[in-house]
Amino acid sequence: MSNGFDERNQQNDLGAVVRSGREILFQAFNWESHKYDWWRNLEMKVPDIAKCGFTSAWLPPATHSFAPQGYVPQNLYSLNSSYGSEHQLRALLQKMKQYKVRAMADIVINHRCGTTQGHGGMYNRYDGIPLPWDERAVTSCTGGLGNQSTGDNFHGFPNIDHSQQFVRKDITAWLQWLRNSVGFQDFRFDFARGYSAKYVKEYIEGAKPLFSVGEYWDSCNYNGHGLDYNQDSHRQRVINWIDGTGQLSTAFDFTTKGILQEAVKGQLWRLRDPQGKPPGLMGWWPSRTVTFLDNHDTGSTQAHWPFPSNHILEGYAYILTHPGIPSVFYDHFYDWGDSIHDKIVKLMDIRKRQDIHSRSSIRIMEAQPNLYSAIIGENLCMKIGDGSWCPTGREWSLATCGHGYAVWQNCPMPPNNLLFDGLDAQRTMAG
């Protein structure tokens, strides 16, 4: 039942998870999850999440929020939310601990909805709830009496002024509570563009999560004809943010997402940069890169920037065989049918058995409009696209394939790989 490596090493060494590089993350919700008794729903799925090989599950914001999805927090110390009660949350976290899947908290600390009107008639005071800040905790650019923001504004809500020492002290204590009392082990920092990365560094050092990832999402570079081939300035901005955290946090690879979802539409030449490397963040700093296809903002019912649905498995064939730290989205895994679920599990299984990790070497063999192929590590190669390609020169065997993708391995898998080929039969017998 154990995932990854020795748990005691993780608890005692905060860099151990990133150094190992053998994570596979799971985003365990979408934009509509708050309607569906979510903590209970997830608790029932924990055994499957663990069996499939996920090491960490990112949960939606667990604290009280003005909006049901959790992204307009108000009372940070209340764990009763639209996803369920505190009791249900703690039961879920206990189940995850039992099955050795780490729980990732969604940390929404760029903005906070006030309880009472203060300066300028704005709701920028927090009277009557824990952390009863006054207007000094809100940036001057969003109606408070604090300093200017150290990042971009999240419009429509009071943005928290992290330059205030009393604010940082309170937030650090809250994060320590989530980590040590509630039972979250990993952090995901929401809207990380909104405040300086040096504060993320301070919060990680103070609360000591085992793994952190930041949502540094800004627009890729486009021209009049579509997406630019060269996205170096885009990925450099994310790298600067990671550097600003003291390299303590990873970041979501929005660069790879933007390129990959154009590439699978017959532009696979995009998947090799001028230096012959992967063109996203993955190509420059794979150990600090979390790759993904969609999340609750880009996909789900919001669909702000969705990955093309008829190319999902090609997308997973890419990120689950490549360097970086891959993440799988709830909708694709549980809502799009057993066939897609099982094919994703198969790709995850191949990744683990061939010991592909965040720093695995990669040689890109082909990057043409309708064909991309690469050799990853010593014993794995893959292709996506409808172009013809096969590995040569060694004894390769086909590990898995589907519409638009194929993966080969150089050494045979153990017999218990049959577990995944027999999932449908098991389900039929069980149900």
- Residues with a catalytic annotation lie at 190, 215
Element (H, E) at 364: strand 362-368
Here the tokens at position 86 are 């505190």
The radius of gyration computed from the CA coordinates of the chain, to the nearest angstrom, equals 22
With tokens 């604090």, the residue in question is 146
- Please write down the HEC assignment for all residues of 112-152: CCCCECCHHHCCCECCCCCCCCCHHHECHHHCCCCCCCCCC
Count other Cβ atoms within 10 Å, centred on residue 110.
Answer: 25
Q: Could you tell me which residues come within 8 angstroms of residue 292 by beta carbon, excluding any fewer than 6 positions away?
A: 27, 252, 253, 257, 319, 326, 327, 328, 329
Q: What is the DSSP letter of 381?
A: E
Residue 95 DSSP SS3? helix
Diameter over CA atoms, the chain? 73
Closest CA to 120 of 142, 149, 147: 142
How far apart CA 91 and CA 95 sit, in angstroms, is: 6
Q: What angle do CA 258, 242, 54 make, to 5 degrees?
A: 70
Rounded alpha-carbon distances, angstroms, from residue 282 to 286, 305, 378: 4, 20, 19
| CA 161 to chain CA centroid, nearest Å | 26
How far apart CA 88 and CA 94 sit, in angstroms, is: 10
Query: In terms of DSSP bridges, do strands 371-376 and 289-291 run parallel, antiparallel, or are they unpaired?
Result: unpaired
Query: In terms of DSSP bridges, do strands 380-384 and 405-409 run parallel, antiparallel, or are they unpaired?
Result: antiparallel
Cβ contact 132:116 at 8 Å: no
